[in-house]
A and B are shown apart, each in its own frame.
Chain A
Amino acid sequence: MTTAPRTADAAALALGDDALVLSHRLGEWAGHAPVLEEEVALANIALDLLGQARVLLSLVGDEDELAYLREERAFRNVQLVEQPNGDFAHTITRQLYFSVYQHLLYDRLATTDSELAPLAAKAAKEVAYHRDHAEQWTLRLGDGTAESHERMQRGLDALWRFTGELFQPVQGLDVDGESLRTEWTAVVTSVVRKATLTVPEGPQTGAWTAGAGRQGLHTESFGRMLAEMQHLHRSHPGASW
């Protein structure tokens, strides 16, 4: 962690942290989901992501050291995935924005000669399902009741400013950010419109947040999330579990 990372490490760390952090947020839903069937669905997605995180982090070093002993500023995930769950519509929005990105990214990555290509090929299948889950729910919430429509629109609007970061270049990832953005926008626009919702028009980045998560700049709630996640592990230095 102290030595300068290889380029492939930087990419693995970025994607691994995305998966780790989103998995953690989804894990917070356990026991709180709107219906039992959805408890099972959300947990499945969380478990897929955690599995991806473990493979990716293990490429870089010891998965637990990386997850539990890094400070907030050393995490390389995008800010989108660390955003708190909010209501179900907020969570579904986060899932939609992120899983479409992740799916497009992994599909591309799978065809490169990157060290991450085999992992990306496997993960792309999982992520395709996550994306489908998010799309199905976006349709139902958007085109459901007046209340669900309003909540879903609020979710889309609130998280929109975290989406610009998804297309910033990542060291070690040989993927063209602009074509990714074009395709992402097309997919999201189509789903959002089909759900009778409106694609937000505001900026996709805040004043100083462009690419910030990937540089180790995070939002306030992330620190609290890490404090909770790391507390037990850090309380017993050197212990094994």
Chain B
Amino acid sequence: MATAHQPPVVAEDEAVAGAVDTAAAAVDTAALESAFDAAVAADERIEPRDWMPDAYRATLVRQIAQHAHSEIIGMQPEANWITRAPSLRRKAILMAKVQDEAGHGLYLYSAAETLGTSRDELLDKLHAGRQKYSSIFNYPTLTWADVGAIGWLVDGAAITNQVPLCRCSYGPYARAMVRICKEESFHQRQGYELLLALSRGTPEQHEMAQDAVNRWWWPSLMMFGPPDAESSHSEQSMTWKIKRHSNDELRQRFVDICVPQAESLGLTLPDPDLKWNEERGQHDFGAIDWSEFWSVLKGNGPCNEQRLTQRRRAHEEGAWVREAAAAYAAKHSDHDKDRRPATPGTHGEATA
């Protein structure tokens, strides 16, 4: 069963079908596993219908879902400033950026769906607090400069994290990341440019920019996750090439990138211990307050409750709209069948 007539990308029953197949045919799991390991080791991509270990699938779903949730929750702190953007140019940029984040969430939910989990299932888990999103979005955007700091530091950290994911072993995730990384580079640059304008502006604007950097610097460093020694999922993810570099490695790379950028901005990074280490060829930096990280992660950040409440409300208040469109589609499905295909041969090519 489930060979020719299984859709390649809708994976809802694929996982189930795959499992049944395996049991029925009593295929030697060890052989499948070693073929899988060999493919990953050879830098081949794993595609949705390939056999994969359950734990690999689960790890991917968890990571992609968390990533997708971060994109859509991440819309909130920035959307907070759309209606107050101080120039029409900035307003257009910010709207486009927040829109991109919705788009990125969408790409990522699609990638997760290829693993057999529907978007609704993932959203339900987010809304129930059973899946996480990046803790950084539990910090508030208090001034306009925060929009810039998010672009420069938060998106900067995200890009540092995400660029290696473009080579992740799971095909759909890697492809989503390629698209996202292309679009993200605009996000980081606009943030930097925004801060630059403030830093070179009036003394009040400069102060606003410095204050934002002071508040966002340390949480941005925490975005790379706990130190390698304490990271629970890292090692296996590295073997599976879901992750390509360790948390500490990426954090260090990010610090080294930011230091000269901060200088050009004319802003100070709030770390008295930050200095160049000639011997290591890298910057030393101060100790991160991990107790804050764990506390925010556990739900005690300034905005955890607020973010989740808004997300839930948007979903609940949108239910009647989604139901209406579904009902309309059901009523008019006959009409749809009458539609001519866009061009002759649509099917053949699309299926290829």
The answer to A–B direct touch (Cβ < 8 A) is yes
Residues on A facing B (Cβ under 8 Å): 20, 24, 27-28, 30-40, 43-44, 46-47, 50-51, 53-54, 57, 63-64, 67-68, 87-88, 139-141, 143-145, 147-148, 151, 225, 228-229, 231-233, 236, 238-241
Give complex CA distance A188, B270 in Å.
58
CB-CB < 8 A to B76: which residues of A?
Answer: 31
At the interface, yes or no: B105 with Cβ under 8 Å from chain A? Answer: yes
At the interface, yes or no: B95 with Cβ under 8 Å from chain A? Answer: yes
Contact B106 A233 (CB under 8 A): no
Give complex CA distance A88, B323 in Å.
13
| Interface stretch of the complex, out of B4-12, B21-29, B84-92 | B84-92
Residue of A nearest to B204 (CB): A236
Contact B324 A43 (CB under 8 A): no
CB-CB < 8 A to B31: which residues of A?
Answer: none
Residue of A nearest to B324 (CB): A144
CB-CB < 8 A to B87: which residues of A?
Answer: 64, 68, 233, 240-241
- Given the interface pairs A27-B82, A27-B91, A240-B197, the reply to whether A140 lies near B204 with Cβ below 8 Å is no
Contact B202 A32 (CB under 8 A): no
Interface SS, B side: helix
One of A34, A88, A241 near B86 (C-beta < 8 A) = A241
CB-CB < 8 A to B106: which residues of A?
Answer: 36-37, 40
Nearest CB of chain B from residue A84's CB, rounded to whole Å: 12
Within 8 A of A (CB), among B42-95: 72, 75-76, 79, 82-92, 95
B306-322 vs A: 1/0 string, CB under 8 Å? Answer: 00001001100111111
One of B91, B98, B109, B194 near A31 (C-beta < 8 A) = B98
CB-CB < 8 A to A27: which residues of B?
Answer: 82-83, 91, 95
One of B79, B99, B318, B324 near A140 (C-beta < 8 A) = B324
- Given the interface pairs A31-B79, A148-B324, the reply to whether A50 lies near B310 with Cβ below 8 Å is no
List 6 contacting pairs A-B, 8 Å CB cutoff, sorted by A. A31-B310, A34-B322, A233-B87, A239-B201, A241-B86, A241-B197
Give complex CA distance A57, B328 in Å.
40
Q: In the complex, how many residue pairs between chain A and chain B have their CB atoms under 8 Å apart?
A: 142
Give complex CA distance A53, B328 in Å.
35
Knowing that A27-B91, A31-B314, A47-B92 are A-B contacts, what are 7 other residue pairs whose CB atoms are under 8 Å apart, sorted by A's residue number? A34-B319, A51-B92, A54-B89, A88-B318, A140-B325, A148-B323, A232-B86
At the interface, yes or no: B238 with Cβ under 8 Å from chain A? Answer: no
CB-CB < 8 A to A51: which residues of B?
Answer: 92
Residue of A nearest to B103 (CB): A40
Contact A30 B86 (CB under 8 A): no
Contact A30 B98 (CB under 8 A): yes
At the interface, yes or no: B144 with Cβ under 8 Å from chain A? Answer: yes
One of B91, B204, B205, B331 near A50 (C-beta < 8 A) = B91
Nearest CB of chain B from residue A63's CB, rounded to whole Å: 5
- Given the interface pairs A37-B106, A43-B95, the reply to whether A24 lies near B324 with Cβ below 8 Å is no
Contact B328 A144 (CB under 8 A): yes
Residue of B nearest to A20 (CB): B88
Contact A43 B144 (CB under 8 A): no
- Given the interface pairs A36-B105, A47-B99, A50-B92, the reply to whether A232 lies near B320 with Cβ below 8 Å is no
At the interface, yes or no: B38 with Cβ under 8 Å from chain A? Answer: no
CB-CB < 8 A to B201: which residues of A?
Answer: 239-241
CB-CB < 8 A to B326: which residues of A?
Answer: 144
Nearest CB of chain B from residue A93's CB, rounded to whole Å: 13
Contact B318 A43 (CB under 8 A): no
Give complex CA distance A241, B84 in Å.
12
Give complex CA distance A148, B323 in Å.
9
Contact A87 B324 (CB under 8 A): no
At the interface, yes or no: B41 with Cβ under 8 Å from chain A? Answer: no
CB-CB < 8 A to A67: which residues of B?
Answer: 88
CB-CB < 8 A to B204: which residues of A?
Answer: 236, 239
CB-CB < 8 A to A53: which residues of B?
Answer: 88
Give complex CA distance A179, B152 in Å.
52
Contact A47 B324 (CB under 8 A): no
At the interface, yes or no: B288 with Cβ under 8 Å from chain A? Answer: no
At the interface, yes or no: B35 with Cβ under 8 Å from chain A? Answer: no
Nearest CB of chain A from residue B59's CB, rounded to whole Å: 24
Give complex CA distance A152, B91 in Å.
30
CB-CB < 8 A to A35: which residues of B?
Answer: 318, 321-322
At the interface, yes or no: B96 with Cβ under 8 Å from chain A? Answer: yes
Give complex CA distance A28, B332 in Å.
32
B176-196 vs A: 1/0 string, CB under 8 Å? Answer: 000000000000000000100
